[in-house]
Structure 1
Amino acid sequence: MKTETIQKYDKGVPRYTSYPTAHLFKPGFTPEMYSDWLKAVPEDMPLSLYSHIPYCDSLCWFCGCHTKITQKYKPIQDYLTSLRKEITMTAEVMGKGRPVNHMHFGGGSPTILIPEDVRDLFQTFEEVFHFTADAEIAVEIDPRDMSQEAIHAWADGGVNRASLGVQDVQEKVQRAINRIQSIEETAQVANWLHESGIHGINMDLMYGLPYQTVESVLETIRRVMEMAPDRIALFGYAHIPSLKPHQRLLPEEILPDFNERFEQQEAAAELLGSYGFVRIGLDHFAKPDDPMAVAFINGSLRRNFQGYTTDKAEAMIGFGASSIGSLPQGHVQNIVPIRNYRAAIDSGKFAVAKSIPFKGQDKLRAAIIEQLMCYHRVDLNVICKEYGASLNDFEYELEAVQAFIEDGIATYDQGVITIQHEARALVRALSALFDEYHGQRELIYSQAV
């Protein structure tokens, strides 16, 4: 696949971790409406929970997350008081003891919490929810603020999967992104995790960062492989300074250009393949016996707000400032500013800010986009049958697909769309054809590649 062809379609498009996408969520969703949505979730429906810890002790200049920098622990303790109250309020509305088969702690940096607060937070969850025996409990880790005692606290809470933020091991790159992190401290945390019985380890890496080259990205992978991770998440840096002003601290002239980014991505994928990793979707890699690779092979891989996942739950509840949840009725997001989130919760009301109820063909199109994002292939006949639709409903989209076919990006055969392996970087661009809302309003997205 010629890079000119790839570049032709390298436009700003959503990441499609949800459909409709978060940019379309609208205000006007009340705590009472959210309460009704929660009550309507079937009692026997397993839940997925997400808990957002929106604090870090330093700012990484590439960061696109909702986080607040603090050197004091008191604001974090105050936030946790509100967070625990929200957890209890939610369980009281839904009924205590609801089954949970997936739990994810994200941020910010969840590992900024001291061990005592980690244990208190787990106790709150365990008092009002029932974690199934095979529940996956995952936490995002910043190795720079992690102690062995803290790892023991997370392990005692039931964590069985951890994602370590690495990004790049080169000092020049680390200084440019304001994240100095030695390979030795990352390896130490990985060892502590294994010693604590947490063996499901993912490493988060990036390409497209300042000063990165193909060789520096490959060297990062080689060093990370010494820690024997089960999964690798290889994200392309999304430079959107208009949305994240701190990214202006990264001079654009030192960012890799399109060709360099594409070469970094493909070289990294090839090297990971040589280590025996299965390439999954757009940016994940897993050992063949890892649950994510197994899910990919057996057709049960999913995609949600955490990215690619083995989580099959049809209801995901978000806790904390800015957290996003997905219920059978639609998506919902909490208030972003921490102070306003706490004020709502402390007054005894849910801190919901906006939502988007499902309507029309939303679930149908979500299923199509998810299949494309996970497998780079979709059988429209199967999905249309499941949702009572027809191929005739997609005359416009199928006509638009023709340009992708003519450029050698995709094929179409009797309702089946397949993205060519060498053009998989453009899966988001092709998925956008089935996005009923894309292009209806002026939005800023990251590039497709």
Structure 2
Amino acid sequence: MAPSISQDLLDVSRQAVPRYTSYPTAPHFSADITAADYGTWLRQTGKAGKPVSLYLHIPFCRTICTYCGCTTKAALRDDPVRAYAAVVHDEIALLHQHLGPVEVSHVHWGGGTPNILPPEVFADLVEDLKTRFRFRPGMEHAIELDPRHVTHEGARHLASLGITRASLGVQTLDAAVQKAIARIQPLERIEASFDALRSAGINRINADLMYGLPLQDLGSIRETVGHVARLRPGRLAVFGYAHVPWMKSHQKLIKDEDLPDAKARYAQARLARDLLVEAGYAEVGIDHFAEPEDDLSLASKAGTLRRNFQGYTTDEAEALIGIGASSISRTPFGYAQNAPDNHGWRRRIEAGELPIVRGRRLEPDDIRRGQVIEDLLCRFETGETAATPEIQDRLAPLARKGWVELTGNRVVIREHHHEIARVVASAFDAYLGAGGRHSAAV
């Protein structure tokens, strides 16, 4: 039976709002922030002496899935991947010049398909990072993996380089849906990936699932969640497919008539959540789940959960340094984004420049609002002085329904946390509506 939804909740859940993995959000970055600004921020970050996190973007896949919203391109041969990695080395050297030998508390490899890197190329990049920066003992070293390219040999290689967590892009196990999104990976392939990682000693495994995909229905959600829960990843994320063909032209291959409507999306998200809770996972934030004793669950219970460009995290570093084309960095002083195209990114680095094309300086009001938004998405409540009268007016309709409680200047989400948290957070967004198009809240 499909979970029921009122028309009021359906209307709220279909509102287009940002995901708020940053604030201000990327559409509000501008070219006013230059490489010189970013260089100053990096030097100040290095002098502060606090640990930083690193994110390395590998924008290549063997083939492009039609649902993909990532910045990536197809590479059937290794030559362009090797050439890209050579420039990553140069960017690491530039960052070291500004940061100095800072301590690193977290490393995350994303893409694209990071395990597309040839083994010796990946090893050289890890060694370069370890030579220039100080890896904190016991730090988390995570990588996103395409299960279609996970082998026992490859998993052993990752483990030998210090990888401690792997995130597998499962998305769906429905054969018809996989065909519609051009990502064929049957259950046997997923099982083999889990086995390869665990055999290599990489036991911290995440699985990413999706709802709202073309041809997806409640039956496929039930089947996928059932199989994946049986494989017992420590963490799961359940994301709604964001159909943004105006940004990602390959999504035009997906037929609008094949996409679930707002009511069906809600039912799929709700069913996935109910099944994972029934399987013993704890809910974390709006779209993550974890074993009750996982660090992510414990952080959620303790009120120390954080949110950044990778989603929910236990990473406490104030600075996240992005490396590679399109990567976004956050420092205590502002955001800076690398050139999104590989050619522009490479050209700037070869000229000896930090490859920044835009960003955003953080003003005191941005920092305050950003913390409130993070509180709402991580803890479903704000501090005592968050909501101005104007913001309370925006939230009044939700308060009248009993979904949100307004006590003084404090905001607490009482009902429908997962469906309305991003909508409530948007009430604090000073830039909402000033540019950029977003996906539905559910």
| TM-score (normalizing by structure 2) | 0.96
Q: Distance in 1 between matches of 2:82 and 2:39?
A: 26
| Structure 1 residues 73-112: aligned runs within 5 Å | 73-96=78-101, 98-112=102-116
| Structure 1 residues 58-137: aligned runs within 5 Å | 58-96=63-101, 98-137=102-141
CA contact (8 A) 2:28 2:435 kept: no
Q: Distance in 2 between matches of 1:29 and 1:359?
A: 13
CA contact (8 A) 1:3 1:259 kept: no
CA contact (8 A) 1:118 1:153 kept: no
Cross-structure match for 1:405: 399
| Structure 1 residues 407-426: aligned runs within 5 Å | 407-426=401-420
Is 1:430 matched up with 2:433?
no
**Helix, strand or coil: the match of 2:95?**
helix
Letter in 1 for 2:88: L
| Structure 1 residues 266-285: aligned runs within 5 Å | 266-285=270-289
Cross-structure match for 1:44: 49
Cross-structure match for 1:388: none
Q: Distance in 2 between matches of 1:36 and 1:153?
A: 37
Q: Distance in 2 between matches of 1:423 and 1:213?
A: 23
Cross-structure match for 2:344: 340
| Structure 1 residues 344-363: aligned runs within 5 Å | 344-363=348-367
Spell out, residue by residue over 1:223-267, the C-alpha distance to the aligned partner (whole angstroms, 9 max, x if none).
Answer: 112221101100000111111111110101011111111111111
**Helix, strand or coil: the match of 2:9?**
helix
| Structure 1 residues 29-428: aligned runs within 5 Å | 29-41=33-45, 42-96=47-101, 98-381=102-385, 394-428=388-422
Structure 2: tracts of 5 or more residues without a match: none
Q: Distance in 2 between matches of 1:138 and 1:353?
A: 27
Letter in 2 for 1:124: D
Is 1:5 matched up with 2:2?
no
Letter in 2 for 1:446: S
Letter in 1 for 2:390: Y
Structure 1: tracts of 5 or more residues without a match: 385-390
Q: Distance in 2 between matches of 1:414 and 1:2?
A: 30
Task: Count how many residue pairs are aligned between Structure 1 and Structure 2.
Answer: 437
CA contact (8 A) 2:152 2:199 kept: no
Q: Distance in 2 between matches of 1:153 and 1:28?
A: 42
Spell out, residue by residue over 1:93-119, the C-alpha distance to the aligned partner (whole angstroms, 9 max, x if none).
Answer: 2112x1111110000010111211111
CA contact (8 A) 2:229 2:276 kept: no
Q: Distance in 2 between matches of 1:114 and 1:181?
A: 22
CA contact (8 A) 2:286 2:417 kept: no
**Helix, strand or coil: the match of 1:421?**
coil
Q: Distance in 2 between matches of 1:244 and 1:65?
A: 9
**Helix, strand or coil: the match of 1:226?**
helix
Q: Distance in 2 between matches of 1:399 and 1:226?
A: 46
Letter in 1 for 2:415: H
Q: How far does residue 2 in structure 1 lie from its aligned partner after superposition?
A: 4.1
Spell out, residue by residue over 1:282-336, the C-alpha distance to the aligned partner (whole angstroms, 9 max, x if none).
Answer: 1100000111001101111000011111111001100000001100110110000
Q: Distance in 1 between matches of 2:139 and 2:373?
A: 27
Is 1:445 matched up with 2:432?
no
CA contact (8 A) 1:6 1:423 kept: no
**Helix, strand or coil: the match of 2:140?**
strand
CA contact (8 A) 1:368 1:380 kept: no
Q: How far does residue 13 in structure 1 lie from its aligned partner after superposition?
A: 0.7
Q: Distance in 1 between matches of 2:260 and 2:396?
A: 31
Q: How far does residue 3 in structure 1 lie from its aligned partner after superposition?
A: 2.9
Q: How far does residue 30 in structure 1 lie from its aligned partner after superposition?
A: 2.4
**Helix, strand or coil: the match of 2:269?**
helix
Q: Distance in 2 between matches of 1:359 and 1:422?
A: 32
**Helix, strand or coil: the match of 2:37?**
helix
Deviates more, 1:399-408 or 1:249-258: 399-408
Spell out, residue by residue over 1:10-36, the C-alpha distance to the aligned partner (whole angstroms, 9 max, x if none).
Answer: 211110000000111101332222111
Letter in 2 for 1:397: I
Cross-structure match for 1:23: 27
Q: Distance in 2 between matches of 1:281 and 1:317?
A: 24
